[in-house]
Every structure is written in structure tokens, then in C-alpha cells.
Amino acid sequence: MRSKKDFMNATNLDIMRAFPQHILSCQFIPPSAPHVKSFKTLFYKSSSTVKYTFEELSTLLCRIEACLNSRPISPMSEDPEDLLALSPGHFLIGGPLLSIAEPEILVEPMSLINRWQRLKAIQQAFCRRWKSEYLKEWKSPTRSLQTGDLVIVFEDNLPSNEWRLGRIERTLPGSDGLVRVADVSTARGSIRRPVAKLILLQDSRSPEPKTLS
């Protein structure tokens, strides 16, 4: 029985022989990488029944990659007026990943005849679901929200590469002394949200944001 390494090497050779005109080279990630697993599982569920051309699959993966690499990681500074966050895109291109605003396609992708519209619909549906699961994943509380904290405001129906960020202006504790609601200053003005809809962005020593509840 072949080992997993031998199987991957054989697969690499099979792919390169099948598509010599594309000059492909396969590089395999370490096993059990959780962020890659979450992508593969969701991608399989959302598009495993669709057949793509090489160009369509490349385009779809690039658009999804931009969504994943646009996620906020930590505040850019401790300035209470600064609403910018560090993202994987900063390490890749030196700045945030930007994209042209496109109207949301809310119809079932498989019902679309236009292949480009269908591709965009699949990408948008994937990113909506991935962003929702990504934000809901971090539920372990670390500390109560404080004035000046940079947070992600959990909202539905945002464009794929857009994340609504804000700074805590005021916290509103409940009768038990725990913070349940907070006023948040955003680029579009001040809003009030329950802390269940606010995800605290830790400093650069914390690998991922945590949701406070």
C-alpha cells in the first residue's frame, strides 16, 4: 500500500502530464492545517457539482483568496481615531486588498445561464458563508470590551472583501456589571450594538480575533 507522500507525488506527476501546456507545479500544505480544511470543506459543499474551465476555476479561486486574505487580524495602531486593521493582504502586497463594488447576486447560481454571472454568484455565496462561519467560530471570551477597542461589527450582506470596523466609544454594563451593549464609532457614524455582534481585534500577539459575549 502506497504511503500518503507517494500518493501525492504520483498525483503531482499525473497532473503535470495531463496539462503540460500549463507548466503546473503542485506544492502540498502540511497536514491538518485548520484554515485550509475549512476552505476545502466549504468550497466542496458550495461548488462540487459545477464543472469549470481552467480559466473559470483560476478566476474563482483568486476571488475567494482575496476574500480570505482581506480578513482583519489586529489593529494597525492604538490610536482611538484609527479604524484601520492589519490583514493578510498587507503581508502579500503591502496594503489592504481592494475590489470594485459589485451588486450582490442573490439568485441560485445554478439557475444562471451567463457563466460569468454564475461564477460571481458562486464566489459571493461562498464568501458570505465563510465570513459568517469565520466570525462565529471565535466565541471564547477574553476580557470585557473597553473604550478605544477596535472591533469588527458583525453584519450580513456586506461585499466579499469588506469588513465593518469600529472603535468602542462607550460601554453599557448590565445590572450584573458585565458589559452587554456598547456604542461604536464607525466610518458611517456611531451605532449601538450588543457585544454578541462585536468581535474584539486583539493586538498582534493574538493570532485571531475573539468574540465577546
Say if 14 falls within a structural domain.
Answer: no
Q: Residue 61 and residue 83: Cα distance in Å, rounded?
A: 29
Q: Residue 48 and residue 45: Cα distance in Å, rounded?
A: 6
pLDDT score at 211: 43
Task: Give me the residues of the chain with pLDDT under 50, please.
Answer: 204-213
Say if 186 falls within a structural domain.
Answer: yes
pLDDT score at 26: 63
Say if 174 falls within a structural domain.
Answer: yes
Q: How many structural domains are present in the chain?
A: 1
Domain that holds residue 197: 32-211
Signed CA dihedral, 56, 58, 64, 66: sign only: negative
pLDDT score at 38: 64
pLDDT score at 4: 54
pLDDT score at 162: 85
Say if 166 falls within a structural domain.
Answer: yes
Say if 197 falls within a structural domain.
Answer: yes
Can you give the pTM of this predicted structure?
A: 0.68
Q: Residue 86 and residue 136: Cα distance in Å, rounded?
A: 20
Closest CA to 165 of 71, 69, 65: 71
Are 60 and 123 spatial neighbours (Cβ–Cβ below 8 Å)? Answer: yes
Edge-to-edge strand list for the sheet holding 179-186: 189-194, 179-186, 165-173, 150-153, 198-200, 210-211
Say if 151 falls within a structural domain.
Answer: yes
Helix (H) or strand (E) holding 185: strand 179-186
Say if 207 falls within a structural domain.
Answer: yes
pLDDT score at 113: 80
Say if 59 falls within a structural domain.
Answer: yes
pLDDT score at 27: 64
Are 153 and 191 spatial neighbours (Cβ–Cβ below 8 Å)? Answer: yes
> Which stretches of the chain are DSSP H helices?
4-18, 34-47, 54-68, 88-93, 115-137
